[in-house]
Amino acid sequence: MVCSQSANPDLLRATFYLFAFSHQYIIQDDARQHIVWLQRLIDPQLFPNDVIADYYQAIAPVGYTTFYAFFAKLGIEPLLLAKIVPLFISLITSIYGFKLFLQILPVPSAAFISTLILNQTIWLKDDVISASPRAFLYPLFAAFLYFLVKRSTIPCLIIILLQGLIFPQITFVYLGILSVRLFQWRDRSLKISQNRQDYVVWIWGLAIALAVILPFSHHLSQLGVAFTVEQMKTMPEFGTQGRTRYFGVSPFDFVMNGSSGIRPPLLPLVIWTSLGLSFLLKSQHSVSRLVTSKINILVHVLIASFSLFLLAHYLFPKLYYPNRYTYHSLRFVMAIAASIVLFAWLKSAQQWLAQRLSSNQGAFTLKETFSTSLAGLLIAASVLIPATPALVFLVESWNIGNNAAIYEFLAAQPKDILIASLDDEADNIPAFAQRSVLVSGEFAFAFHVNYYGEMRQRAEATLQAQYSPNLLDMQRFIQYYGVDFFLVHKDFLEPQYLLTKVWLVNSSFQRQVFETATQLQAGKIPALAGAVERCAIATTQTLHLLDAHCIESSQPIKPPPKEP
pLDDT tens per residue, range 477-486: 999 999 999 9
Buried b vs exposed e over 44-64: b needs ≥16 C-beta within 10 Å? eebbeebbbbebbbebbbbbb
The confidence band for 468, taking pLDDT boundaries of 50, 70 and 90, is very high
**Ramachandran assignment for 49, one of left (phi > 0), alpha (psi -120 to 50 degrees), beta (any other):** left
pLDDT at 178 over 80: yes
Q: How far is CA 147 from CA 135, 204, 511, in A?
A: 20, 15, 54
What is the crossing angle of helices 137-149 and 324-358, to 10°?
70
pLDDT average, residue stretch 95-109:
96
pLDDT of 142 reads 97
Nearest to 504 by CA among 473, 443, 459: 459
Nearest to 385 by CA among 1, 128, 12, 125: 12
The confidence band for 368, taking pLDDT boundaries of 50, 70 and 90, is low
Which of 97-106, 273-282, 393-402 is predicted with the least confidence, judged by mean pLDDT? 393-402
pLDDT at 196 over 70: yes
How far is the C-alpha of 270 from the C-alpha of 57, rounded, in Å?
A: 38
How far is the C-alpha of 244 from the C-alpha of 445, rounded, in Å?
A: 9
Rg (CA), the chain: 27
Q: Residues 51, 59: contact at Cβ < 8 Å? A: no
How far is the C-alpha of 168 from the C-alpha of 162, rounded, in Å?
A: 9
Phi and psi dihedrals of 82, rounded to 5? -65, -20
Nearest to 184 by CA among 196, 194, 174: 194
pLDDT of 564 reads 44
Q: Which amino acid is at 373?
A: S
Does the N-terminal peptide bond of residue 268 adopt cis geometry, omega within 30 degrees of 0? yes
Residue 350: exposure state from Cβ atoms within 10 A (0-12, 13-18, ≥19): exposed
How far is the C-alpha of 550 from the C-alpha of 475, rounded, in Å?
A: 10
Element (H, E) at 543: strand 543-547
pLDDT at 461 over 90: yes
Q: Residues 37, 81: contact at Cβ < 8 Å? A: no
How far is the C-alpha of 304 from the C-alpha of 285, rounded, in Å?
A: 29
Average pLDDT of the residues of the chain: 89
pLDDT at 553 over 90: no
Cβ count near 270 (within 10 Å): 24
Share of the chain above pLDDT 70, in %: 88
pLDDT at 8 over 60: no
pLDDT of 13 reads 54
pLDDT at 6 over 70: no
**Residues contacting residue 529 through CB under 8 Å, at least 6 positions apart:** 493, 559, 560
pLDDT at 425 over 70: yes
Residue, of 94 and 186, whose pLDDT is higher: 94
Which of 211-225, 382-396, 408-422, 505-519 is predicted with the least confidence, judged by mean pLDDT? 382-396
Share of the chain above pLDDT 90, in %: 71
pLDDT at 302 over 50: yes
pLDDT average, residue stretch 240-253:
91
Element (H, E) at 6: helix 2-20
pLDDT at 555 over 90: no
What is the crossing angle of helices 137-149 and 153-166, to 10°?
160
User: CA angle at residue 533 from 501 to 498, to 5 degrees?
Assistant: 10
pLDDT at 322 over 70: yes
pLDDT of 379 reads 67
Phi and psi dihedrals of 490, rounded to 5? -65, -20
pLDDT in tens, 39-77: 999 999 999 999 999 999 999 999 999 999 999 999 999
Cβ count near 252 (within 10 Å): 9
How far is the C-alpha of 313 from the C-alpha of 98, rounded, in Å?
A: 33
Element (H, E) at 392: helix 389-395
Q: Residues 346, 105: contact at Cβ < 8 Å? A: no
pLDDT in tens, 370-405: 666 666 676 666 666 665 655 665 666 788 889 999
pLDDT at 294 over 50: yes
pLDDT of 363 reads 65
- Residue 489: strand, helix, or coil: strand
User: CA angle at residue 135 from 441 to 94, to 5 degrees?
Assistant: 150
Residue 208: exposure state from Cβ atoms within 10 A (0-12, 13-18, ≥19): buried
pLDDT at 3 over 50: no
Element (H, E) at 47: none
